[in-house]
Amino acid sequence: MRMVVFGVVAAILLHCAAAQTTYVVGDSLGWTIPSNGAEAYISWASNKTFMVGDSLIFNFATNAHDVLQVTKDSYDACTDTNPIGSAITTGPASVNLTTAGDHYYICTYGRHCQSGQKLTITVSASGTPGSAPPPPSTTAPPPPPSTPSPTSSTTPEACAPTPSSTTDPTTGSPTTSTTPGQAPTPPPNSSSPAVFGGSFLTILSIAVAALF
């Protein structure tokens, strides 16, 4: 049982150690007065990602420099009036990054800070996930296809009455009656043979009746 517990603890410690990064401030330059001023440490920190749990190593000779964490105002003014913790005077110094946010460090010796021996970094929370993916876009479903309104298939020809021709028994003249569903036909021309023949028969009938 003790071996199992020991193995679990060891695995956790190894995981934590692997997740932490140790940075040597300034790399080969170390913690000193840079020849090109504060730009040296600004450039050094610009391409690094600092996380909670990481460590900074300030390489300097004891009694030649120190390192002090301060507020932004004190960093800008190069003053130790608002310190965060105590100055570390023994080099090399190791500083653990325990909180997220902007961190400011200076050397309080003489005018070392004014000459560029100052460092500012931004620390991210450990295990902070990357930017959340955008929510999936929701596309409204297309509207249902419109159903055309029913239209009447009735054609004028189907509704037009169809005339039928009959003969008037009294006059002998043709008459026209209309039958639904058929188109009307124009009345016969008065000069047509049918009209002339009907009129002749009518006159002949009247003349014969007058003689008898």
Three-state SS sequence of the chain: CHHHHHHHHHHHHHHHHHHCCEEECCHHHCCCCCCCCCHHHHHHHHCCCEECCCEEEECCCECCECEEEECHHHHHHCCCCCECCCCECCCCEEEECCCCEEEEEECCCCCCCCCCCEEEEEEECCCCCCCCCCCCCCCCCCCCCCCCCCCCCCCHHHHCCEEEEEECCCCCCEEEEEECCCCCCCCCCCCCHHHHHHHHHHHHHHHHHHHC
Predicted local confidence at residue 74, as pLDDT = 97
Predicted local confidence at residue 42, as pLDDT = 96
Q: Of 65, 69, 109, whose CA–CA distance to 90 is shortest?
A: 65
Cα-Cα-Cα-Cα dihedral sign, residues 65, 68, 74, 79: negative
**What tokens appear for 168 in the block?**
């008037």
- The neighbour count for residue 74, using CB atoms within 10 Å, is 19
Prior bond of 92 cis (ω within 30°): yes
Q: Of 212, 165, 161, whose CA–CA distance to 188 is shortest?
A: 165
First to last CA, the chain: 153
Strand partners for 89: none
Please give the angle made by the CA atoms of 99, 105 and 106, to the nearest 5 degrees. 165
Report which residue type is found at 34. Answer: P
Predicted local confidence at residue 133, as pLDDT = 42
- pLDDT tens for residues 139-188? 555 666 666 555 544 444 444 444 455 555 555 555 555 444 444 454 44
Predicted local confidence at residue 191, as pLDDT = 47
Predicted local confidence at residue 77, as pLDDT = 97
In the predicted model, residues of the chain with pLDDT beneath 70 are: 1-19, 127-201, 203-205, 207-212
As a whole number of angstroms, the distance between CA 7 and CA 11 comes to 6
54, 21 contact by CB (below 8 A): yes
Predicted local confidence at residue 126, as pLDDT = 73
Task: Report if pTM > 0.75.
Answer: no
Predicted local confidence at residue 131, as pLDDT = 38
